[in-house]
Amino acid sequence: MPETLKSRLQSDMKSSMKSGDKGRLGVIRLMLSAIKQVEVDERIELDDDRIIAVLDKMSKQRRESISQFDGAGRDDLSKIEQAELEIIQEYMPAALSEQEIIELVEQSIASTGAASIKDMGKVMGLLKPKLQGRADMGKVSQLIKSRLSA
């Protein structure tokens, strides 16, 4: 049976403890804590897809913080968030190329028969499971809007 994302995080946490890598250990604990919070709130055991959604949300929060810190000239805080983001990204699926994203958007528009901005929800609903954690959904949304309004 392949190793789950959660068990990989737990084993990486142990090895970070042993090696004394406090920065990495802290980020892994944050990830496990976020996963545990959802599991407790919803009284379920998360599968890899849901864990990726949790990690994707954490990545998005880090990216937003980085842009705010950069805008405020707080490079020190920006570097901390960037380091955390890099560790979180290690557990995410490989990012799709821009061309792959465009192809998926085109396929989804064609298969849903989307013709206008009103159909955007259908297209996003079809794409989200395929792209979760593998693409910036904000950019995907902009791409769909530009395709449907053209």
Q: Give pLDDT tens digits along the chain (150 positions).
A: 568 999 999 999 999 999 999 999 999 999 999 999 999 999 999 998 899 989 989 999 999 999 999 999 999 999 999 999 999 999 998 888 889 988 999 998 888 888 888 888 888 888 888 887 788 888 888 888 888 886
What's the distance, Cα to Cα, between the start and end of the chain in Å? 47
d(CA 86, CA 16): 16
CATH of 5-89, one of 3.20.20.140, 2.60.40.10, 1.10.1510.10, 1.25.40.80: 1.10.1510.10
Output DSSP code: residue 3.
Answer: P
Enumerate the domain spans of the chain: 5-89, 98-149
Q: Is the pTM of this model over 0.85?
A: no
d(CA 55, CA 75): 24
CATH class (in words) of the domain with range 98-149: mainly alpha
